[in-house]
C-alpha cells in the first residue's frame, strides 16, 4: 500500500469509527457465555451462524455441559445433536471436543491467553482468537475479520485484499490499537441495523456519505 493510499484510507477509517461510535457507543459481543471456555465454544459455533441462533443453542448446551472435561468426554454424535442447528455441526463438534482435550492436557483446563497458544487449538483461527483475547482477557492483538468486517472493508476500500488475514494486516496499520476491539462489534451492528448483506438501496446510510462509491461494491460473501 503506497503512502498516499494509506493516508486516504486512514482518514476514511477514522471517520467511519467516529460515526460507528456515535451510532453504537456501547457495542459489545452479543454471544452469551459464563466463562472463558463457554466464550470459546460460542465463538466457534458462530461461524456461518447468527449470534441469535448460537444463543438459543448455548442456553441449553451450557446447562448440560458445565466443564471443559464434559466437552472432552461427550460422544461426538451426542454433541452433534446438541449443536445441529448451528450448521457445520460435525466439524464444529469435532473441533470443540478436540480443543477441550488440548485445553485440559496442555493448559490445565484453562483457555490460554496468548495468540500463539489459541491458534494451536482445533477450530481456532485468528478471528476466533482475537474475539477470545479481547473479550476474555482485554488483550488486543489484532482485529477479528469475520464476514461482516470483510464485506465492509471491501465496500469501503480499506484494503487491496479479500483474504481475512491480509485484511487484518492492513486494518491494524490504519487505526490505533484502542479502536481495534470495537471495530468488529460496531460493524456487525451496523450491518444488522443499517446495511445487511443482501442487495438493497443504501445511499442514505450513515457511512455511505463518507464514501459514496460504496454503493457500487457488493463483494461475494466469504
Catalytic residues: 127, 146
Q: How far is CA 135 from CA 7, 99, 194, 204, 209, in A?
A: 30, 19, 25, 33, 31
C-alpha cell at 46: 458462530
131 φ/ψ angles, rounded to the nearest 5 degrees = -65, -45
Q: Is 138 left (phi over 0), alpha (psi -120 to 50) or beta?
A: left
- CA triplet 136, 59, 104: central angle to 5 degrees? 50
122 φ/ψ angles, rounded to the nearest 5 degrees = -55, 135
Amino acid at each position: 500500500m503506497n503512502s498516499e493510499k494509506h493516508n486516504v484510507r486512514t482518514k476514511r477509517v477514522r471517520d467511519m469509527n467516529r460515526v460507528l461510535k456515535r451510532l453504537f457507543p456501547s457495542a459489545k459481543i452479543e454471544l452469551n457465555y459464563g466463562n472463558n471456555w463457554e466464550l470459546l465454544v460460542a465463538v466457534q459455533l458462530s461461524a456461518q451462524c447468527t449470534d441469535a441462533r448460537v444463543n438459543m443453542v448455548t442456553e441449553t448446551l451450557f446447562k448440560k455441559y458445565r466443564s471443559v472435561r464434559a466437552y472432552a468426554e461427550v460422544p461426538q454424535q451426542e454433541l452433534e445433536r446438541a449443536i445441529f442447528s448451528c450448521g457445520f455441526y460435525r466439524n464444529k463438534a469435532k473441533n470443540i471436543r478436540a480443543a477441550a482435550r488440548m485445553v485440559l492436557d496442555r493448559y490445565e483446563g484453562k483457555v490460554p491467553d496468548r495468540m500463539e497458544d489459541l491458534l494451536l487449538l482445533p477450530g481456532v483461527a485468528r478471528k476466533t482468537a482475537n474475539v477470545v483475547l479481547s473479550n476474555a482477557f482485554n488483550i488486543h492483538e489484532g482485529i477479528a475479520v469475520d464476514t461482516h468486517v470483510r464485506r465492509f472493508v471491501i465496500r469501503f476500500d480499506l484494503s487491496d485484499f479479500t483474504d481475512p488475514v491480509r485484511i487484518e494486516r492492513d486494518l491494524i496499520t490504519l487505526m490505533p490499537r484502542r479502536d481495534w476491539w470495537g471495530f468488529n462489534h460496531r460493524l456487525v451492528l451496523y450491518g444488522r441495523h443499517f446495511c445487511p448483506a443482501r442487495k438493497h438501496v443504501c445511499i442514505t446510510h450513515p457511512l455511505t456519505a463518507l464514501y459514496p462509491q460504496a454503493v457500487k461494491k457488493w463483494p461475494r460473501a466469504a
